[in-house]
Amino acid sequence: MLSLQFRMWLLLTILFAIIYAVIVVIGSTFLRVGGFGFYLIVSLVMMFIQYMIGPKIVEWTMQVKYVKKEEYPQLYQMVESLATRAKIPMPRIGIARVNLPNAFAFGRGMRDGRVCVTEGILKLLDDDELKAVLAHELSHLKNRDVLTITLLSVIPMIMYRLAWSFLFSGRRRDGRGGNTILIGLAAFLFYFVTNLLVLYASRIREYFADRGAVLLGSKPSSLASSLYKLAYGSARIDKESLKEVEGIKAFFVNDPSKALSDIRELSQLDLDKSGTLDALELEQLRGKKIRLGFADKAMELLSTHPNMLKRIKKLSEYKC
């Protein structure tokens, strides 16, 4: 856990060091052409709008209907007990009217937290597995992950707008056109790098949420088994349905677009071919080394979620 915390703090330091360095090095140039203040304000305004209307977009996309205790008493009791144990306000509970099996948490803050499950996941997981997934999502709320990633996302957004301004604004004052193009190219490079770093931050937050689920009383094997089942459930969904949720898959407990590769990786862990991962199978994984090919590493680099085999390996190291 300490290693994850160190990596997160190091990542935050690097990201904000990059934006500070860019402002210091080329700030005077921006002020002369009048671009810096404008694009900074535009990026901040866009981030604020995204933060404010984001929950409504998620609700509309996932067809979320909020439910009361009497409608889903068992689900309500699970969330209520987990929220009490996590010492956070009781979130609103929603059911997403989609067959894709998954769960997600969102909201503008801890007091505005919402935890949703799809109709598909309710049909797929047993009680222990569902509770582990809910614990994972409540950990996201407790860690303020939505706010963290939203704030970090503004950095590549600013870099992109700076690059666009310098490369395509057509300004060539004082015979400095060559320098302007170089600055634009540098900003675009920083956009690419910071975007990768934000994706890395998202993957770290998933590890934190997995650990949080265990701290809230879930068995590592229950969460591992739920991830395995979710991969199989996602693989059965048609491509058109997957495209409809493409824009918000970062909220999900796993990435449904990677379901087939996840199945290939995790099926080798299911020694008894039961369709689940139990504590014994997880125990055997603990002593093994995970080796990923180039394609798997590249895919993870561009993903909001960790490689599933690495993620399950990390779960195998946790004690209940």
- For the question of residue 137 being annotated catalytic, the response is yes
- How many CB atoms sit inside 10 A of residue 1's CB? 10
* Distance in angstroms (rounded) separating the CA atoms of residues 95 and 74: 13
Residues 16-28, mean pLDDT to the nearest whole number? 58
pLDDT for residue 72 is more than 90: yes
Measured in whole angstroms, the distance separating CA 304 from the mean position of its chain's CA atoms is 5
Please state the domain extents for the chain: 2-316
Taking all residues of the chain, what is their mean pLDDT, rounded to a whole number?
83
Q: Annotated catalytic residue: which of 70, 71, 119, 137? A: 137
pLDDT for residue 4 is more than 60: no
Per-residue confidence (pLDDT) for residue 38, from 0 to 100 = 59
Residues 277-287, mean pLDDT to the nearest whole number? 90
Residues 190-203, mean pLDDT to the nearest whole number? 86
* Distance in angstroms (rounded) separating the CA atoms of residues 62 and 100: 10
Confidence of residue 43 (pLDDT cuts 50, 70, 90): low
> Residue 73 corresponds to which tokens in the numbers above?
């008493």
Per-residue confidence (pLDDT) for residue 186, from 0 to 100 = 79
Classify residue 29 by burial, with Cβ atoms within 10 Å: 0-12, 13-18, 19+: middle
* Distance in angstroms (rounded) separating the CA atoms of residues 247 and 228: 23
* Distance in angstroms (rounded) separating the CA atoms of residues 206 and 310: 12
> Residue 199 corresponds to which tokens in the numbers above?
């994706």
Per-residue confidence (pLDDT) for residue 173, from 0 to 100 = 47
